[in-house]
Structures are given as C-alpha cells and as structure tokens.
Structure 1
Amino acid sequence: MKSAPLTVTDIAREAGVSRATVSYVLNDRRDVRVSEDTRGRILETARRLGYVGSPAARALRSGRGDVVLLLLPDWDISAQLELLLEEIGRLVAEYGLVCLRYEGEHWQGALHKLLSRISSACVVTFDPLHRDDRQALDSAGIPDISAQLLDHPGLPHTTALGQDTIVSAQIDHLLAQGYTRLAYLAVDEPRGRPFTEARVKAFHEICAQRQVDGVVSATVPSSAEAISDTIRDWTKRSDEPLGIAAWNDLVGLAITSAAADLDIAIPRQLGVIGGDNTRVAAFARPPISTVKFNLPAEARCIAARIAEVVGREAQHDSSNDDPTVEVVPRLSTALQATHGNDFDERETG
C-alpha cells in the first residue's frame, strides 16, 4: 500500500515543535523570530524524512513560484550557449530558485498553457516573444528578463555578448596581424542559421567601417569537400595573404585541414581565427587563434537582473569583470612571425 505523503504535522511531531514554527521555517519567514538551533533542527528533520513541499502551495502563499523559466527558441544549443545556461542555473539556485529550461518551437504562441501549469517567479527570454505569448505573460503578471542574443529590427540585443562583438574581435585581430584581404566562412546548420546570418551580416558591416575592400563570405554545406573547394577558390583569387574569420573552432580546424591538403601555408598564405576557445583549437596543428567569451560575466549580469525582479539581493558584483570577448592568439594567424624565414611552429600564445 502506498504510504501517505509527509506533512508539516509529521515534521513538527518529529522535531518537537509546533506546526506553525515548522511552517515559518519551511517558508523562510524571517519576520518571525525562530532561533537558529530550532531552524536547523527543523530543516534537518525535513531532509531526513524526505519532505517535499508543494510548489503550488508556496506560490499561493508568496504570490509567485520558485521557478525561473528559460524560454529558448528552436536553436541549435551550442557548447557555449549550454555553458551560459548552466551558469545561470547555478547562480539562480543561490537565490533559492530553480531554473527550468524550455526549448523548441512548440511553446511559441502557446505560452499560456505552460504558465497555467508552472508557478513561475519570472521568465528569461532569449528572443522576442510572439504577441500572444507577451499577452499571456502580461495577463499572468509574471515579470520577464530579456537576455536577447540576436539583433532584430528595432530590437537590438540586450546582452553584453553581441554577435557583432565576436566578429569585430576576429576582424581586428586579423588586421593587426597584417592581413589585408579578409573572408568569413561558416557551415550551414539549419537551427543555427539566425546566428550564422547575424555574424555574416556583422562581418560585412564591420569590414565596411574599417574600410577593408574586397571581402568575401560563404556559408557552405557541412562537408570537407565544400570547405576545401571554397578555400582553393579564395586563395587562388587573392594575391595577398588571406585572413579568414571562422564561425567557430571546428570550422577553423576544417579550414586548416583543407589548407594542409592543398599545400597552402598557414599563416603565411592563409590566416585563420575561430571562436569559442575550445580544446580543438588549442590541440590543432598549427594551434588555431580563437575568441574567448566571458560567459560567467554574462551569466552574472542575467542572474542579477533576475534577483532584482524577484526581490532578492544580488550575490555577485559584475562591475570588475574582464572584457566580454578576448582574442587568444596562436600560430594560425601569426603572420608577423613568418617574416624573415624565422617561422617557429610552437604556439605563441
């Protein structure tokens, strides 16, 4: 026979206190005086007995739930985005809240169904909401945090880490190394297209601002042959060393591999900088320059905004954080080191 669920009465009996005292402690009522010894004994008793409170009941008492909904569109969740979401969840847990990640396109336009089932403290949106979903949030009185990663017409990104920031770091590094002919290469990933398109667009706009002429870009099928054909064509048409900004480190590795097969010298004829600062880039031969993202700082900013809207005190100060993006220079772009026949194949940074 299935046992009856534990109640506040069971904990009160086991801990030797009143039901009201147990209720104060389990609901973290700090306006009622309960000694720390008693508070600790009640919490330990609840853990030992395996007590799980009712989220719905807590929400009814407090006016809002303990769940922070992370609402993600139908994106390809890259390793970097995964790290960002995990860090947000870790930080939010310090406020006594729980992050629930909801992904895909099935919730879009039907957010009211989700909100009717989950008592939410707030939601975090990573892309603009449909009109119906915005109305559902407003009707429910649930605050939302915009952590928009992409730019939309009239709606610029609301995070420190913009796609243009990443591309700008790549371009400026290549130019500083002496590359005057630039290109951008990405592979086509249907669920990653919003990010690919944003970075390609930023590449051309920033190159125009830097007055870099003759730039090219391509988004090719995810195949070694397509990448090799593109590299062969670009280098044949360039009389000067070509600097390529790659979508990520994996694409950077594919470019260096294609260059090796085509006998194209890196970095003398072709320079490559990736993104994400993964081990792939560090272990490649030659090691690939990359862009490092300060994801912990981004997560701290988002978590602080969550704390503000739910009435909690922020635990972390992000005012002294390192830059949002930082280039990690390696041999794949060390054009200056190849001058004078003193090329050194060891990693430079």
Structure 2
Amino acid sequence: MTERKRRVTATDVARSLGLSRATVGYVLNNTPGQSIPAATRERVMAEAARLGYRPHRVAQALASGRSMIILLVLPDWPMEHSLRQTLETASRVLDDAGYALVTYTRHEGGQARPLWELLTPDVVIAWTSITAAERTSMQVSGITQILPVLQEERSALASPTLTAGTHLQIHHLHEQGHRRLAFATSVNERFSLLSEGRAEAAREASDRVGVDLLDVRPVDHRDGSVAEAVREWHREGVTAVATFNDDIAAMAVAAAQRAGLSVPGDLAVIGHDDTPMASMLYPSLSSVSIDSVGLGHYLANQALHAAEDRPLPEAPPDLQAAIVVRESTRR
C-alpha cells in the first residue's frame, strides 16, 4: 500500500521561510488589521504555492463558524431535465456568492450517515419531508438554518410548482376542442407522489373546464401497457392525452402511430417539461415549459437569505409555466 502524502501546513511554510507561524497564518488567512510588509506577504504566498499548501477547509470552518456549503435534501426522484436545470442555475448563483451547493438524496432503507453530519452546512433546504429525528440531528450538528422552517409534510399534491403545468395541459386540450381525455402517468415508483399530484390536478382541471377525463393510468413501452392504453382510448372515443412528462408523451405518440392512428388527427398528445427531445420528435411534441431557471434563482436566493440575511426573495415562480404548442396538438 502506498504511503499517503502528508498535507502541507502553515507550519511547514513558516519553517521553510524562517518566519513565525503566526505571521504565516495571518498572511494565508488574510487576517485583517495586521501590518505585514508587502514583500513578506509575497514571500509567504510564493513559498506556499511552491510547497503545495492548500487551506484546510474544516479548520477554516471551525475558526469562522461557516462552511460556505448549502445542502439541498432532495426526494428520491430520477434526475430529469427540469430538475437538472434548476440545480445548475442555483449552483452558479451560489458559486458567485462564494458558496458550494451540495445535493443529498435519501434512499429508503439507506444506511449511509446523513450528509449534514459530515459537512455541517451553513443552510439545509429540504425539498422533501424531514422527520423530527432528522431535524434534531441537524440541530445537534450545529445547523441553525433549516428550511422549510416549519415541520411539514411536503407533498406534490400541494405544490403549484409541480402541478400548475397539468392544469395548463387540460385547458389547452379543451381550447383545441377536445372533450374526452385521458391522462398517462409514470410506472416508476420513485415518481409515485409526483404522479399522484399531477393526476389529481388533471381531475380538478377537467372538472373545472367541463371535459370528461375517462381514464388515468400508468403506462410503459416495455410491457406493452402504453400500446394497450392507446387502443382502448381510441375505442372509447378519447381524442387527446395529457401525460406526466415528455418521455411518456413520446411513448404515446409512437404507440398511436404503430396502431395506425394519426397524431394529432386521431389522438392529440401533450407532454410536460419541454425537454430538448420534444422539438426533435415527429410530429413535434407540444409540452409544458416550467421556469426551471427562475426556480433555481429562487432556491439560491432563499439560501443566501438564510445564510447572510440578504433580502428575502419574492415568491417562487410557481405559476410561470407555459404551453409550448407544436404539431402533436395543433389542429
């Protein structure tokens, strides 16, 4: 086994230059109020670079009381287009402010030590429910900023960010003249809560505009369930299908075409998330575009408010969803 290389410390730099440990520490930590000559500062920085000195982040965090880390606790969802875009935006905004965004997905039955105990982040933002025991664990670890502040069960059923697009799907299909609809959800159990929320939103929107939502079911191309669903929908007079996401919409379009149905003539299909795939399919896929970038800015500014008491951001862009109309629903 190769011997692990010892970390270069400020003491090593001081010894190499014949300076006191305190002087070198003042320079490397950029301690204010110290009258150290510029030439000495340059010598210290040059020697630190030559020896390969790197700041000890844990020690710095202990000294300053800050880790400069924001921890985002995510539900166990697959990382899809909209979520990736939100996290990339939040990460850039926080990086500009000097913070690192770290994401942590808890898995059911997982045995790993909670990441907040290992990193001691300045702020924890929970995008999923956290238990009283987990909140206590965070507080014992020295974390004082835990969002949401109130203990509550976060549910896709109550989140306009996650269900506003489904309402728009139903309204769009109604405006296109469709009165007999179906809604296709995901078979992926990791999406179960979100699928349930969007299915309920589809029922509410259908009742509101006065259309018949004849069927709500999970479908997949691997087990033939999407092909079976499309055939049954056509027999029952369904003329349009709203779907959980663009992947399922693509399955429905393909199944309809294989069954000899035209899209949108025999069956209109609308997706959700407006992924790059939507515009590349034939026929191109109508979809819901969510303001993922705006949500990323909101997330980052919410964290900065908790970490540094910056101005509280405006309400999240819950309703900034929009229908992108393409060939799959255009009459």
From 46, 56, 59, give the equivalent of 2:58: 56
Match of 1:332 among 324, 328, 331: 328
- Of 85, 88, 91, the match for 2:90: 88
Deviation, 1:69, is: 1.8
What TM-score, normalized by structure 2, do the two folds share? 0.82
Higher mean Cα deviation, 66-75 or 43-52? 43-52
Count of aligned pairs? 326
| 1:1-349 pair list within 5 angstroms | 4-10=6-12, 23=25, 26-27=28-29, 49-105=51-107, 114-142=115-143, 143-146=145-148, 151=155, 156-157=158-159, 162-223=161-222, 225-238=224-237, 242-311=239-308, 313=310, 324-335=320-331
Equivalent position SS for 1:255: helix
**RMSD between aligned residues:** 3.8
Counterpart of 2:206, as a letter, is C
2:82 aligned partner, one-letter code: Q
- 8 Å Cα contact 1:207/1:215 also seen in 2: no
| Code of the aligned partner of 1:202 | A
- Please name the residue that 1:344 is paired with: none
Secondary structure in structure 1 of the residue aligned to 2:107: coil
User: Aligned-pair distance for 1:23?
Assistant: 4.1
- Is the alpha carbon distance of 1:138 and 1:258 closer, same or farther for their aligned partners in structure 2, counting shifts above 3 Å? same
**Partners of 1:149 and 1:162 within 8 A in 2:** no
Q: Is the 8 A contact 1:59 1:65 kept in 2?
A: yes
Instruction: Name which of structure 1's ranges 249-258 and 37-46 shifts more when overlaid on structure 2.
Output: 37-46
Contact kept? 1:185, 1:247, Cα under 8 Å:
yes
Q: Deviations over 1:262-292 (max 9, x none)?
A: 2222212211111121232111111110111
- Going from structure 1 to structure 2, the CA distance change for 1:10 and 1:270 (only over 3 Å counts) comes to same
Contact kept, 8 Å, 1:70 with 1:123, in 2: the verdict is: yes
* Cα distance change on mapping 1:119 and 1:150 into 2, 3 Å: closer
Distance in 2, matches of 1:103 and 1:209, equals: 36
Q: 3-state DSSP class of the match of 1:310?
A: helix
TM-score w.r.t. length of structure 1: 0.78
Output the CA distance in 1 between the equivalents of 2:272 and 2:183.
12
Distance 1:30 1:125 in 2: 36
Percent same amino acid among aligned pairs?
Answer: 27
Secondary structure of 1:219's counterpart equals strand
> Displacement, 1:221?
4.1
**Distance in 1, Cα, partners of 2:326 & 2:105:** 36
> Equivalents in 2 of 1:35, 1:203: separation in Å?
69
CA distance in structure 2 between the aligned counterparts of 1:42 and 1:276, rounded to whole angstroms: 52
Q: CA deviation at 1:247?
A: 1.4
Q: Conserved in 2, the CA contact under 8 Å of 1:107 and 1:114?
A: no
Which range moves more in the overlay, 275-284 or 82-91? Answer: 82-91
Q: Within 2, Cα distance between the matches of 1:13 and 1:222? A: 67
Deviates further, 229-238 or 141-150: 141-150
Instruction: Give the Cα separation in 1 of the matches to 2:314 and 2:262.
Output: 42
CA–CA distance in 2 between the matches of 1:292 and 1:149? 26
Which whole-Å CA distance do the structure 1 matches of 2:155 and 2:231 have between them?
A: 33
Deviations 1:148-181 (A, max 9, x none): 995268xx44xxx622212112112212222222
In structure 2, stretches of 5+ residues that fail to align are none
Alignment-mate amino acid for residue 250 of structure 2: L
Work out whether residues 11 and 22 of structure 1, in 8 Å CA contact, stay in contact via their aligned partners in 2: yes
